[in-house]
């Protein structure tokens, strides 16, 4: 339940940031569109975000057409990671198997550049 709430709240924060920070909208304009999602490996908990300069949409589930997916081994790993995301945490999560990246690693860099505005 905690992870579901965190992912929902992340969507609220992304929408608020898009509305309030022109730098975030500029970064989205450069990307044109960025679709990404977060899920547990068993997909019991999953949420995706579709971001454009005009709007940010957040919905439950994980469609197949996303640019990037962050898949966590379990809900506890995801919760721990999302509390303090950093490049070091990403790297450690990838190496020890708590996090699996589905998509291009350049998209991870794009995501990190967007999340720094939160």
Regions in the chain scoring below 50 on pLDDT: none
pLDDT of residue 38: 96
> Collapsing DSSP states into helix, strand and coil, what is residue 44?
coil
pLDDT of residue 105: 85
- Entry pTM: 0.91
Q: CATH number of the domain at 2-115, out of 3.40.50.1000, 3.30.1050.10, 3.40.50.720, 3.90.1170.50? A: 3.30.1050.10
The candidate with the shortest Cα–Cα distance to 93, out of 79, 110, 113, 111, is 79
pLDDT of residue 100: 94
- Pairwise CA distance, residues 39 & 100, whole Å: 10
pLDDT of residue 83: 86
* The residue to which tokens 């975000």 are assigned: 49
Q: pLDDT (tens digit, 9 = 90+) per residue, 17-31? A: 999 999 999 999 999
For the chain, domain boundaries: 2-115
């Amino acid at each position: 339940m905690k992870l579901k709430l965190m992912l929902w709240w992340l969507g609220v924060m992304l929408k608020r940031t898009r509305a309030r920070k022109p730098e975030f909208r500029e970064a989205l304009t450069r990307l044109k569109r960025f679709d990404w999602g977060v899920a547990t490996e068993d997909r019991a908990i999953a949420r995706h975000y579709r971001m454009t300069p005009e709007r940010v949409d957040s919905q439950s589930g994980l469609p197949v057409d996303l640019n990037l997916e962050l898949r966590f081994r379990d809900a506890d790993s995801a919760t721990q990671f999302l509390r303090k995301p950093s490049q070091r945490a990403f790297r450690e999560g990838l190496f020890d198997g708590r996090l699996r990246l589905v998509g291009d690693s350049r998209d991870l860099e794009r995501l990190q550049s967007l999340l720094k505005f939160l």
